[in-house]
Amino acid sequence: MRRAPLSFRFLRGATVALAALAWACQDPLPNRPDSGAVDSGFQDGGDATAQDSSTVTDTGGARTDTGALTDTGPGTGDATGDTGTVCGALGGACCSGDACADGGVCADSLCAACGSAGQSCCPGRMCNDGQCQGDAGAGVCTGCGTAGDVCCAANTCAADGCCVSGFCVPAGTTCAFTDAGVCAAGSCGGCGAAGQACCETGCTAPDVVCENSLCAACGGAGQSCCGDGTCNSSVSAPLTCTSGACVSCGGAGEPCCLTSSPCTTPLTCKGAGICG
């Protein structure tokens, strides 16, 4: 048989070698999974890049923050978790030490409005309307000053009435427990007013207290506290009753005031009842 030319046989051998080389380079496992992804981030929806340049989507989901936020430092109040609820506000929980913002008092662990007639007394048994009555707890603010009502702070009665045994007697009316004295401008006909002798039940005019059988002015700075332990305090000149005398309060080294803000900012009331 006649043999093929040498050039033809060389070309056929080269073709077979190239085909074998191409087969050897093929991927014997074309369907294997791609495990070459590199994801160094959180599982928060970002994409990872595979080592073979393909893109693999990260569906691990979002992170969940279950930690509660608690603010225990001084200031406007405490935070109670992720809801951001602040203590001390009216209707909210009381802060540590049963503290509430101005205008509120802690009752049954909640801050309630105080100071108006029918409401609880504010801290220090203070009332904006009426007089604090009741010996237990904060007390209740009740109407005061008119005839038949309890006397307001510092023996005060409306319309020149007289405070007799803790109740207001209208002007022109005979005062009980006196020698038929008639009430006029706080005096029960010769007793009870500033500079007069004390009546049987004490002094009957406002802002006076019985001292050494005479009715003397009370409630001012350096004066004796009035009979119910009150002082004529104001926002600009706060006073508190200490050891029977009205003294300045709220400043550094001074006694704490009996209010919801016992010391001027940033001072706080220390254990000894002194602002520091």
Among the three residues 143, 163, 181, which one is the final residue of a domain in this structure?
A: 143
Contacts of 145 (CB under 8 A, 6+ apart): 131, 151, 152, 156, 157, 158, 161, 168
Q: What is the pTM of this model?
A: 0.60
27-36, 109-118, 234-243, range with the lowest pLDDT: 27-36
Give CA 117 to chain center in angstroms: 23
149 plus 211 within the same structural domain: yes
Q: Provide the domain count of the chain.
A: 3
Answer for the pair 38, 46: CB distance below 8 angstroms, yes or no. Answer: no
Secondary structure class of 99 (helix, strand, coil): strand
210 plus 158 within the same structural domain: yes
Instruction: Place 84 in a pLDDT band, splitting at 50, 70 and 90.
Output: low
14-23, 82-91, 142-151, 166-175, range with the lowest pLDDT: 14-23
Q: What is the pLDDT of residues 61-72, one digit of tens each?
A: 444 444 444 443
126 plus 150 within the same structural domain: no
* DSSP per-residue letters across 103-172: TEEEETTEEEEBSSTTSBPBTTTB-SSSEEE-SSTT-EEE-BSSTTSBPBGGGB-STT-EEETTEEE-TT
Among the three residues 143, 173, 188, which one is the final residue of a domain in this structure?
A: 143
**Mean pLDDT over the full length of the chain:** 76
Residue 265 is assigned to a structural domain of this protein: yes
Average pLDDT rounded to a whole number, residues 89-103: 86
Q: Which residues form the domain of 92?
A: 86-143
> Highest mean pLDDT range out of 78-82, 122-126, 130-134, 189-193?
189-193
123 plus 93 within the same structural domain: yes
Secondary structure class of 201 (helix, strand, coil): coil
Residue 32 is assigned to a structural domain of this protein: no
Residue 49 is assigned to a structural domain of this protein: no
Contacts of 185 (CB under 8 A, 6+ apart): 160, 171, 193, 205
Give the span between the Cα atoms of 14 and 139, in whole angstroms.
111
Among the three residues 99, 128, 143, which one is the final residue of a domain in this structure?
A: 143
